[in-house]
Amino acid sequence: MSEALPHFKYHPAPLRTGALEARSITCACCGRHREYVYVAPVYGERDLDESLCPWCIANGSAATKLGASFADDHSLRKAGVPASVVEEVNQRTPSYSSWQQEEWLAHCNDACEFQGDATVEDVRNASAETKQAWRHHYGLTETDWDHATRGYVPRGDQAFYKFVCRHCDAVLLGWDCS
């Protein structure tokens, strides 16, 4: 029986989002044979792509032993969330792949949960609050929203990433394009 995957409070379903894959590896950090591998971005002094297990991410040993980090901390620092939250997302949470640079969204003075690529329905049925937050965050207009969302499909040229506030359940949409 394989070991249960660790829980990541800011990325609760890394298998579903594609940050982890069921694949046998020998982890570059702990040296153990593992049945899951981290396949999203990792930053460090050496190439660690597809060589880390989720347990070494969760317990912080990949960050401590190998200098690995998993998400750009700029957006969370800019949002003013506590340093402990920035550290947890940056050093102990699987990230996600994006066109340019991943950006972790925050709400209620905390990092949001990453839920993966937004579905067509998430974008089409976005609340007025979600649209307003998107426009404000990116400095864009309603016309820009209409243009960016027209014909949206997950993993297309316009990428929307779904984040949910852990405190008030507000839905925020990260955005990137090729």
3-state secondary structure 26-80: ECCCCCCEEEEEECCCCECCCCCCCCCCHHHHHCCHHHHHHCCECCCCHHHHHHC
> What's the pLDDT at 74?
95
> What's the pLDDT at 153?
94
d(CA 38, CA 148): 30
> What's the pLDDT at 178?
77
Q: What are the distances in angstroms from CA 62 to CA 118, 131, 150, 156?
A: 29, 37, 40, 32
Length of the chain, in residues:
178
> What's the pLDDT at 3?
85
Contact 30, 55 (CB under 8 A): yes
Residues with Cβ within 8 Å of residue 152, at least 6 apart in sequence: 120, 123, 124, 158, 160
Examine the pLDDT at 1 and tell me if it is beyond 70. Answer: no
> What's the pLDDT at 99?
86
**Tokens encoding 26:** 């020998």
> What's the pLDDT at 11?
98
d(CA 82, CA 173): 21
Read off the amino acid at residue 50.
E
pLDDT, tens only, 118-173: 999 999 999 999 999 999 999 999 999 999 999 999 988 899 999 999 999 999 99
Average pLDDT over residues 8-29: 97
> What's the pLDDT at 55?
98
d(CA 139, CA 144): 10
Domain boundaries, the chain: 1-97, 109-177
pLDDT, tens only, 54-108: 999 999 999 999 999 999 999 999 999 999 999 999 999 999 999 888 999 999 9
**Tokens encoding 127:** 């609340």
